[in-house]
A and B are shown apart, each in its own frame.
Chain A
């Protein structure tokens, strides 16, 4: 009897030297064109961020956190700041709260803009790659005007902010949002309505809400299943200004498969997220109060922290981003910091999602979950 071709598996490493695998590697087993086994490997991007945090004091920690995910830097640094504020008992001024929220939403938008381009590049449409990135430049200009650098802004500090808004920053932010809103219909034509994009993504990487909860997915990946799980609404942070705004958690209920989401739904969900973020920023800009941006005693208080534990968390662009911090008595540095990145879970969800998909769909499923290697190799 001749051996069946389906009995033989081919092992393909989708990884570290692959052009679209920037800092990760996955071992795939193929039968014909179908993937039967997927083994995600973490660790190619490891920079021991948690250990680094133990050797920095509480003001020096947030630059490390930003480098885990450059795209959502304002969001990524916040859990650490929040945990330090909780332990030190710092009160953040009103103005700092609002400005922090505005910049976090701007960072979220800029992350999704990058993601549109990234997904399009993974699917070979390089015009759509560059167009959102051009719009993203306006947000980066805003960040540069505000903090002095385009990436890794190091904006928040325990007890407040390091940089204040000026007229120029507001003008640039408004221009960035204007450009975004002007170009959004074009991107919807290019992505949501494009028949070739729909052919490629509909029904690919489909999972139900139950599975998503079991795998620990969060953020847009689970909101696309129709579950309004959002930390901004569920557990309002006292140091953020989401309660000043009237907004709804954006969810997506697909008429054909309610409670499930495929790659296309996740893309549509991210459009909804951007619209919500724009709405929040637009409502917050007139409400910016006057006053100081930092508690004058915050610097002294953050020098030495009392013994305590705190869990800082924020709804990041890719899901729940959180950090557990433990300090000892009169601590200058943390005793232990544990980062919970959102993408570790979405990366390992590939293990269940990818088998039975085609080889060409692997990168689409990967891209639709929007993982960033910094979050699983911290």
Chain B
């Protein structure tokens, strides 16, 4: 009897496997179709220089020393230039929490792969804008 029961359980597993073959796969076609990111997604930052007061709270809050501030580089009255080192950043969101002047936000952009290490250090010209060059590969455009 034990043998027959085992046989039945083996066939139950085979039934599950067989059913699975004709179901749709779960994987999304990632680079071709983008998945929806929720509102709170902690992706790369955007720095609004109009609101910035150069208080450097974000620099203090960062646990991994990923942010560097250059107070001499002023575009407006009292702002400062921020340099984000995304080779160090752990996306904990503490800098955004620390900012009380609505000058620093996360964006839902998470695909930041680059060919060079230096390109991941986002200077003031890259961190203040969301525009970037589209990635092309074999005639297909991503992003």
Contacts and interface: CB of A to CB of B under 8 A. Distances in A.
Given A59-B94, A63-B63, A149-B42, A127 B26 contact: no
A59 B32 CA distance: 39
B120 interface: no
Contacts of B17: 127
A190 B16 contact: yes
A148 B20 contact: no
B40 A63 contact: no
A148 B38 contact: yes
A63 to B, nearest CB: 5
A208 interface: no
A135 to B, nearest CB: 10
B6 to A, nearest CB: 4
A16 B61 CA distance: 36
Interface in A106-165: 127, 131, 134, 137, 144-149, 152, 154, 162-163
A168 B41 contact: no
A63 B42 contact: no
Contacts of B92: 60, 63, 152, 154
A144 B94 CA distance: 16
A163 B6 contact: no
B20 A127 contact: yes
Nearest to B19: A186
Interface string B18-32: 001000001000000
Contact of A194 (B13, B26, B90, B91): B13
Interface residues of A, number: 28
Interface in B1-59: 6, 9-10, 12-13, 16-17, 20, 26, 37-38, 40-42
Does more than half of chain A's interface fall in helix, strand or loop, or is it mixed?
A: helix
Given A60-B61, A148-B106, A154-B93, A193 B26 contact: no
B40 A146 contact: yes
A32 interface: no
B6 A195 contact: yes
Contact of B12 (A146, A148, A152, A189): A189
A64 interface: yes
Contact of A148 (B41, B90, B94): B41
A127 B6 CA distance: 20
A56 B6 contact: no
A168 B38 contact: yes
Contacts of A190: 13, 16
A151 to B, nearest CB: 10
A107 to B, nearest CB: 17
B119 interface: no
Contact of B93 (A148, A193, A195): A148
26 contacts: A59-B94, A60-B92, A63-B90, A63-B92, A127-B17, A134-B26, A144-B37, A144-B38, A146-B40, A148-B40, A148-B93, A148-B106, A149-B42, A154-B93, A162-B97, A163-B40, A168-B38, A186-B16, A189-B12, A189-B16, A190-B13, A193-B9, A193-B12, A194-B9, A194-B10, A196-B10
Interface of A: 56, 59-61, 63-64, 127, 131, 134, 137, 144-149, 152, 154, 162-163, 168, 186, 189-190, 193-196
Given A60-B63, A145-B40, A189-B12, 12 more contacts: A56-B63, A61-B63, A144-B40, A145-B38, A146-B40, A148-B42, A154-B94, A186-B16, A189-B13, A193-B12, A195-B6, A195-B9
